Amino acid sequence: MSTNGDRAFPTPSVRRLPIYLSLLRRLYRDGLESVSSTKIADELGLTGIQVRKDLSMTGIVGRPKVGHSISELIEHIEGFLGWDKRRQAFLVGAGHLGAALLGYKGFAQENLDIIASFDTSPEKIGKVILGRMTYDLAEFVAMTKKHHVQMAILTVPASCAQDVTNLMVDAGIIGIWNFAPVQLSAPPHIIIENVSLSSSLAILSQKLTQREAQTRGKSEEKS
């Protein structure tokens, strides 16, 4: 028995794969058939070593002189990410952010299909938002089991995010894409990926604040 399947790949490398895909698709549209890792590195401001390491993670064998076939690279990366197969997901929380994700066109390329959304608000239940029906959250468990859905997108307020997470776990959801600004607790077999707008804003605000303090310091020195 191989234990390879248990291996956790480095997060920064996996995060870079969509950026490679985006570049490779552009080069392919421009009529190119092959590309070297050095060229990829130059285009993306990375080192050649980093690019070769990232690509080899997906099972691609390097070809130093010839370069890689672009269509093969795309195929490998998509396969590694599971973007070569259609994945169905439910969305819980049909507010502004939920609607934005329902309307996000980029997911088509990533083969993500948000098939329905759920909410507890009587004004939203039964409404079709951007082509997807909004169901009563009370139907979530039954619907998840019926459609064998394994992934759910969480766009509810922080205050009810943990309760909805518990419901998702009970329903058999395995992967939760969490947009609520809260740390969720879940059994270890559940995969949680957080998109924290607050954390991202914190990084930007802190740097801007620091920059402003420097600028003030410099102008005080001059005066």
Query: Residue numbers of the site for a copy of itself (CB under 8 A)?
Result: 1-2, 5-7, 9, 11, 14-19, 22, 44-45, 80-83, 87, 95-97, 99-104, 106-107, 110, 112, 130, 150-151, 158, 174-175, 177, 181-183, 191, 193-214, 217, 221
Distance in Å, CB of 207 to a copy of itself, minimum: 5
Between 56 and 63, CB nearer to a copy of itself: 56
- What whole-number distance in Å separates Cα of residue 27 and Cα of residue 93? 38
Q: What's the one-letter identity of residue 123? A: E
Smallest CA-to-CA distance from 117 within 58, 57, 179 is with 179
Distance in Å, CB of 190 to a copy of itself, minimum: 10
Distance in Å, CB of 73 to a copy of itself, minimum: 15
Distance in Å, CB of 72 to a copy of itself, minimum: 19
The DSSP 8-state label assigned to residue 180 in this structure reads: S
For residues 197 and 175, is the Cβ–Cβ distance under 8 A? no
Between 69 and 194, CB nearer to a copy of itself: 194
CA atoms within a 13 Å half-sphere pointing along the CA-CB vector of 53: 12
Between 83 and 118, CB nearer to a copy of itself: 83
Distance in Å, CB of 149 to a copy of itself, minimum: 12
Between 31 and 106, CB nearer to a copy of itself: 106
- What whole-number distance in Å separates Cα of residue 150 and Cα of residue 130? 22
Q: Which residues contact 72 (CB under 8 A, 6 or more apart)?
A: 60
Distance in Å, CB of 63 to a copy of itself, minimum: 24
For residues 195 and 210, is the Cβ–Cβ distance under 8 A? no
- Dihedrals φ, ψ of 211, to 5°? -60, -40
Between 84 and 139, CB nearer to a copy of itself: 84
Q: What's the one-letter identity of residue 212? A: E
Q: What does the block give as tokens for 76? A: 């490998």
Between 64 and 123, CB nearer to a copy of itself: 123
